[in-house]
Amino acid sequence: MKKAISLIVALVMLFAVCVPAFAADQTITKDTGPTGQTNVTTKTTDKEGKDPSTYTVSYPAEVTIAWGDTDSYELGYKVTTQLALGAQLKVKAEENNGGKMTSNLTEKTLTFALQNGAESTFGPDCNEQAPETQPSVSIANWADAPIAAYTGTVTFTVTYEAA
């Protein structure tokens, strides 16, 4: 019985090795004509079989506002993607701690307001594309605190949605 199973396994392995060799060749003969074609195709994975999608979101590390200035300052960001068809990237900006700005020198705080931080969607192939409306910040409550260096933060959140 063991010999029969060994023989069957050997035959299965032999046929498994032969099948790919038959599929790889095309032949041009006198009867088929003077030309032939080879299909060149791409995979949707990299050499290691992983998703090759890439994206970059570039945003400012710091925005500095002069004391007493009530203008809005853009947090201009740009997105570059190379994603699969049907995939998308979503980016949104949110103020941390309700926009509260603190200083090491005083317990008083300032508050910045974030405008246009709503989620923006980007497609599979964009090169340094900006959202339709850039998020911006402004400070209006200057009289609530003494002059000092205050800091607050905005978080950019990126969500990748595969196809």
The CATH code of the domain that includes 130 is 2.60.40
Count of domains forming the chain: 1
Question: Phi-psi category of 6—alpha, beta or left, where left has phi over 0 and alpha has psi -120 to 50?
Answer: alpha
Asked whether residue 64 is domain-assigned, the answer is yes
Query: What pLDDT is attached to residue 14?
Result: 55
- CA distances to 14, 40, 89, 91, 162 from 85, rounded to whole Å, are 40, 19, 12, 18, 9
pTM of this structure: 0.74
The rounded distance, in Å, linking the Cα atoms of 38 and 23 is 12
Asked whether residue 16 is domain-assigned, the answer is no
Residues of the chain scoring pLDDT < 70: 1-24
The rounded distance, in Å, linking the Cα atoms of 68 and 1 is 93
How many residues are given for the chain? 163
Asked whether residue 2 is domain-assigned, the answer is no
Asked whether residue 44 is domain-assigned, the answer is no
Query: What pLDDT is attached to residue 21?
Result: 46
Query: What pLDDT is attached to residue 31?
Result: 81
Asked whether residue 59 is domain-assigned, the answer is yes
Query: What pLDDT is attached to residue 120?
Result: 96
Asked whether residue 152 is domain-assigned, the answer is yes
Asked whether residue 32 is domain-assigned, the answer is no
Segments forming the whole domain that contains residue 142: 54-161
88, 124 Cβ separation under 8 angstroms: yes
Asked whether residue 69 is domain-assigned, the answer is yes
